[in-house]
Amino acid sequence: MPRRGDHSKEELKNLILDAAEALVAEHGAAGLSARAIAKQIGYAAGTIYLNFANLDEVILHVNARTLDRMYAAIEPAASGRAGPVTRLKRAARAYVEFARANPSLWRLCFEHRLPPGSDSPDWLDRRIEGLVSLIVEPVREVTQSTGRALETTAQTLFSGVHGICMLTLTNKLDVVGKQGTEQLTDALISNYIRGVTSAHSE
């Protein structure tokens, strides 16, 4: 049934997402527009709306892809055979590295505002939880905690690294370079972990 290039529904969706991703990566979030996507894939702008409800939905799917790539980038670091603290630090570095390599896509994940009233779909939120879950195991190993305390520690560390990443990448802190950021994430992890374990043995 397709006419232009024999693209199945699924292929066309992926073409749209590919184009959207490339546009954001190259020209920032502002470079994303229905017409720009259409031009890049050789379709008319209206075609996008046959596959997605609106541009917000396109962005949400782009974000899902980005989060999946983030997961893949962090997973090896978090689950190596090194000690738990080392794995946590490596995971944080992988996170920062990914954000530095994909600044626009990374920011789109966390800065995209959808219209008031509606909030992000479950399949997206679950991907962020998936990222947090990556560090639960090393945290458990090193803190010997379980249940709610374990989850709290993992969430706190993740948020902390995320905040450091956010503020340093957007130059809102007086910190420059990769090692500047890593100094902060390393400090966060070592001190927090030491704090937890020393409270334990007290």
Partner DNA sequence: CCATTAACTGAACATTGTTTAGTATTAGCA
Partner DNA sequence: TGCTAATACTAAACAATGTTCAGTTAATGG
State in angstroms the smallest separation of the CB of 157 from DNA. Answer: 36
Q: What is the DSSP string of 51-101?
A: HSSSHHHHHHHHHHHHHHHHHHHHHHHHTSSS-HHHHHHHHHHHHHHHHHH
The piece of 37-45, 91-99, 140-148, 190-198 that touches DNA (CB under 7 A) is: 37-45
Could you say which of 16, 24, 32, 105 contacts DNA (CB under 7 A)? 32
Q: Is residue 171 part of the contact set for a copy of itself (CB under 8 A)?
A: yes
8-to-4, 36, 39, 49 alpha-carbon distances in Å: 11, 21, 19, 15
Q: Which of residues 116-135 bind a copy of itself (CB under 8 A)?
A: 116, 119-120, 125, 128-129, 132
Angle at 11 (CA atoms; ends 68, 52), nearest 5 degrees: 75
The piece of 14-22, 79-87, 92-100, 180-188 that touches a copy of itself (CB under 8 A) is: 180-188
Q: Of these partners, a copy of itself, DNA, none, which one is at the site of residue 1 (CB under 5 to 8 Å by kind)?
A: DNA
Q: Of these partners, DNA, a copy of itself, none, which one is at the site of residue 123 (CB under 5 to 8 Å by kind)?
A: none
For the packed helices 122-134 and 55-78, what is the interaxial angle rounded to 10 degrees? 20
